[in-house]
Structure 1
């Protein structure tokens, strides 16, 4: 998606350790018109697939998922990284490791929000190592729901996550795939 790639090139920053900072427009401060276009694109890619739920993981994916959900006219469920007193009843749970925070989380979704009747589109801002997305896939599989696919804003194509998720049988559509981060520059896949 050229609009997203342009935003990455003009407003993103590459830091040491293969870190791409897009907090100026995607996952801290949010450029709502840009994210609306991202939501439209995910809708174009997955319309007609019977999506009736969108699932993401807290926190960075929530805004993107919500705007995408408006285009589908469906609710958003987000996997929480901590058990809280306001989650009652049985839950689905899986483990994810955060590349950004360098720690492992148990993520949970209340069983009352996902079930066998659901057709789920996964949405997230980044796909790198794949842990978050694989954790979401596990939650959906526990629920008996059907995974329609995964919509990813930015994929680090040089990392293992995309292959792991695709090899698990999930159709992934990434709007910007980075071939490499080199000398402070972003190089996109062809």
Structure 2
């Protein structure tokens, strides 16, 4: 938990902060946080997707009364860890399912949206995971990226990471069912080839030297 800073200016009205995150499956099945977008609203009514224009995490935390840079950075780090941990748990669960249970041989999750609510409990700021919502989180984060570009902010990693995820899926589809010739196979050092071939749906023909 991140302690609420003593003497920090509180917002004029009771406010709620909904944090929308988007995480992608990166190379090596590694979760990677792509984008964070926040919506600030009145505490007495739920802050829904599309109810307010998205804004950045740092400015939202300042508006919420978190003025110390170290505390904002600590919250950003905890948010990244929580989001990527949620994606890692989902990938681990999918890996244990059969192709039929997943919905097909190549069916798996490449992009995941996770919604959080920031609350103050016992004078400490707590992140509470609300739900996974890929479609609405994707729309919100893409809008936040576009708004940032329109005011001169540098390009973020979101377009690149989304493109990488889609291209990787397309490459897997192109090579699925193909035959490859592996020369000098058979040793323990080549074991990674068999694992990759299984994951990509390849048929391996070996030829010793």
Coarse TM-score class (shorter-chain normalised):
under 0.3
TM-score, normalization by structure 2 = 0.23
More helix per residue: 1 or 2?
2
Asked which structure has the greater CA Rg, the reply is 2
Task: Report which structure shows greater RCO (CA 8 Å, sep ≥6).
Answer: 2
Identify, as 1 or 2, the structure richer in strand: 1
TM-score, normalisation: structure 1: 0.25
